[in-house]
Amino acid sequence: MNTDSHWVHTPPQIATPSNKRPRVIAAVLLVVIAFCGGVVGGVIGSSTNDNSGSSNTPLVTAAPVDSSKVGNSNVAKAANVIAPSVVTIDSLTSNSESVGTGIIVTTDGEILTNNHVVEGATQVRVRLNGQTSPIMAKVLATDPGNDMALIKLNNSSGLTAATFADADSIAVGDPVVAVGYALALDGGPSVTSGIVSALNRTLEIDNGALDGLIQTDAAISSGNSGGPLINMNGQVIGINTAVATGGSSSTASNIGFAIGVAEIQRVAKLLRANASGETPDQGYLGIGVGSRTDGGAGATVTEVADNSPASRAGLKANDIVLEINGKTITGPGALIAVIRDSAPGDIINIVVERDGKRVTLKATLIARPKE
């Protein structure tokens, strides 16, 4: 089905001097204060009884708040758990300054965020929750294809690392909370709540495809990028990274996406390896892919490279790939992501539809050829 909805990264909020050109257009926040009926009819009028005076009865007030408690709701308690592990990231390039969010993952200052938060940065400054002064950070490694980056604070210790949830514990309908520095507003991070709307979504982006995404209706705004999506225990289940916007013939409301915890853990290992000087090769199958045109699920093989793992496995143009290693392929993006996330030497089982019949093929991936 063809629509003109757009799947876009939540851009970092821009806070640049007027003489600098920002990388993205800054959102404009309009705060409208409505005065209803002139302060509600001005104290709701006066009494018609001339003999009645003002009452001396005190207003009823609540009991003092127990300072040992942090909020009465599950959302408040979950947000309090993650708060020490959420940071604001200020990225500077030669002509812009942008703000995003990050998650502390080690006590000595390793932080995960989105690649698009720090992409092209010449200087990265991080402010811890509750602090007023920033700390300089170094970009250790980036993965544009998975939109993740690993940065490290200078000379830091004793920080509170976030706890990550078990990927198998996440289910559609679970309540979740998104935390981040939405619109780079003054003060602490913003907190919004919602549910897990869907699991294992895949989106195609300029650098490839994002897979293993969690869809949520929790509000995600500019500046939330790189921040945590958490469960009611304050455990990270995803990194907020993209939202859907409507087009002229479609609408999109409350559709946000977070990189799921399983992908976070996998990519974090690759980022650390890259930071240590290792450059793991990606898997290569050797096919071109496109969308199905008959309304079905799967990815259509448009071409097969000569002498490639795909040709040796027997893949043919017009085959429709339905599964790889038991994982359903919903479209081209899902297929791209599965192969990219595999390693040379991996053996994959491919289920295709060919001439109305299902055929299972086996391919051994090789390293992606250098461009």
Domain spans in the chain, listed from the N-terminal domain onward: 1-34+70-280, 283-367
User: Could you give the CA distance from residue 30 to residue 12 in angstroms, rounded to a whole number?
Assistant: 18
- Structure letter (DSSP) for residue 167: G
Say what percent of the chain tops pLDDT 70.
77
For the question of whether the overall pTM of this predicted structure is more than 0.95, the answer is: no
Report which of 149, 90, 150 is spatially closest to residue 124, judged by C-alpha positions: 90
Strands in 105-182 per DSSP E: 110-113, 123-128, 135-143, 148-153, 175-180
Residue 348's φ and ψ, nearest 5 degrees, are -120, 140
CA 125 to chain centre: 20
In 193-331, alpha helices (H)? 261-275, 309-313
Task: Determine whether 308 is an active site residue.
Answer: no
User: Could you give the CA distance from residue 143 to residue 109 in angstroms, rounded to a whole number?
Assistant: 19
Q: For the chain, how many residues are written? A: 371
Task: Determine whether 143 is an active site residue.
Answer: no
Tell me: the pLDDT tens digits for 107-161? 999 999 999 999 989 999 999 988 888 999 999 999 988 899 999 999 888 999 9
Task: Determine whether 147 is an active site residue.
Answer: yes
- Structure letter (DSSP) for residue 347: E
User: Could you give the CA distance from residue 264 to residue 231 in angstroms, rounded to a whole number?
Assistant: 16
* CATH node for 283-367: 2.30.42.10
Tell me: the pLDDT tens digits for 270-321? 899 888 887 777 789 999 988 888 888 889 999 999 999 999 999 999 999 9
Residue in 225, 308, 341, 342 annotated catalytic: 225
- Tokens 């892919």 identify what position? 289
Phi-psi region of 43 (alpha: psi -120 to 50; beta: other; left: phi over 0): left
The stretch 214-242 carries a mean pLDDT of: 92
CA atoms within 13 A on the CB side of 122: 6
The stretch 165-184 carries a mean pLDDT of: 91
Residue in 85, 96, 147, 341 annotated catalytic: 147
Strand partners, 111: 104, 151
Query: Under CATH, what is the fold of the domain 1-34+70-280?
Result: Thrombin, subunit H (2.40.10)
Most confident listed range (65-79, 211-225, 243-257): 211-225
pLDDT over 60 (residue 241): yes
User: Could you give the CA distance from residue 365 to residue 310 in angstroms, rounded to a whole number?
Assistant: 8
Residue in 9, 96, 116, 211 annotated catalytic: 116
1-34+70-280 and 283-367 have identical folds: no
User: Could you give the CA distance from residue 172 to residue 189 in angstroms, rounded to a whole number?
Assistant: 26
- Answer for the pair 84, 129: CB distance below 8 angstroms, yes or no: yes
Strand 228-230 relative to strand 287-291, pairing? unpaired
- Answer for the pair 102, 125: CB distance below 8 angstroms, yes or no: no
